[in-house]
Amino acid sequence: MDKKTNIGVIGVGHLGQHHTKHYSKIDGANLVGVFDLNQDRCKSVATKYDIKPYKTLGELLKKTEALSVVTPTKDHKKVAEECINKGKHVFIEKPITKTVAEAESLITLAKERGTIIQVGHIERLNPALLPLEKFDINPKYIEVQRLAPYMSRGTDVPVVLDLMIHDIDLVLALVKSPIKEISANGISIMTDSVDIANARIQFKNGAVANITSSRVAKDRVRKMKIFQQDLYITVDFLRSLTEVYRVMDADKTDPSAIMSAPLVSKERHRQIFYEKPTIKKQDALKMELENFIEAAQGKVKPIVDGTAGKNALDLALQIHNKILEDIQ
């Protein structure tokens, strides 16, 4: 049997407790303990999973090979740096850091120390997105909406860095092209920061992404529409519903698809093939952490590495700064 990776969690608040829960069940992980500045919280989570609550990060680092950093974002750089300096692999929750310079410094340090950085852009593993792997994705236009009712948690950062950054990472993963132009606007409603934002990103290959994020909506919405030549895909992340419409020559057959009546377009006999792939029920956080353990064991590459995390942060900050220019 493969050796298990000794793992610890730093910061066991709202999200860190879920990291702890998953590591306690992942085959390749040996959950050693947790550390939190709030020692009461540290003890209560440790008791629940029958592991050791650590009083200092230094003590936890001595016993582990890999760690999840689930502290507030402002502390990611300091905490992750301490881990990497001791040669440990780190899974850093999103956003990777507060600034691009901080992210770059962690990436350089990890390269020097030969350690892995993985970033918690969890939507990459959303089961509703997995059917896209079957298609040759080359989007011309992407429309994304992520709306959430107001909650005080997460409002220490603007909506672009809290919610929109998930979609920014997805769009960057789907459109593999440099950015040509960004326009953005946003408003503040409930907090002193921007609560609703819209960004239009034009890529050098001609693709355009239009992303709307709000944390003052009545209902939760998380939807993405992808348009490209002969293909239209809608993904509802919340309902785990993916629908695929393909336009193909009428003489093609696809037993998995429902076909429209034949239509004539561009003087060719075409048909629309509709498909609703079965979505497996899977916990995206668990899958992310399993990927991290395997990456720490050198078996796979991290799904979202430090550079991808930095690129998402970089674009998010550019969008946020555009919004601020407009507001001032």
Instruction: Name which position in 9, 79, 106, 313 contacts ligand NAD (CB under 6 A).
Output: 79
Does position 126 bind ligand NAD by CB under 6 A?
no
The residue type at 110: A
Instruction: Name which position in 5, 7, 9, 16 contacts ligand NAD (CB under 6 A).
Output: 16
Does position 36 bind ligand NAD by CB under 6 A?
yes
Does position 15 bind ligand NAD by CB under 6 A?
yes
Does position 75 bind ligand NAD by CB under 6 A?
yes
Does position 85 bind ligand NAD by CB under 6 A?
no
Does position 303 bind ligand NAD by CB under 6 A?
no
Instruction: Name which position in 5, 7, 9, 10 contacts ligand NAD (CB under 6 A).
Output: 10
Q: Any idea what the Cα angle at residue 31 is, between residues 27 and 34, rounded to 5°?
A: 155
Binding mask 229-268 for ligand NAD (x = CB under 6 A): ----------------------------------------
Question: Among candidates 17, 11, 18, which has minimal Cα distance to 287?
Answer: 18
Does position 153 bind ligand NAD by CB under 6 A?
yes
Residues 6+ apart with CB under 8 A from 55: 35, 39
Q: What 3-state class would DSSP assign to 72?
A: coil
Does position 93 bind ligand NAD by CB under 6 A?
yes
CA dihedral 187, 190, 194, 200 (to 10 degrees): -50
Does position 220 bind ligand NAD by CB under 6 A?
no
DSSP summary character for residue 163: I
Rounded to whole angstroms, how far apart are CA atoms 134 and 313? 28
Between 89 and 146, name the residue whose CB sits nearer to ligand NAD: 146
Question: Among candidates 103, 67, 69, 73, which has minimal Cα distance to 86?
Answer: 67
Dump strand ranges (E) for 152-262.
179-187, 196-203, 208-214, 221-228, 231-236, 241-249, 258-259
Q: Judged by CB under 6 A, which stretch of 33-41, 109-117, 131-139, 268-276 contacts ligand NAD?
A: 33-41
* Contact footprint for ligand NAD (CB under 6 A): 10-16, 35-38, 41, 70-73, 75, 79, 93-94, 120, 122, 153
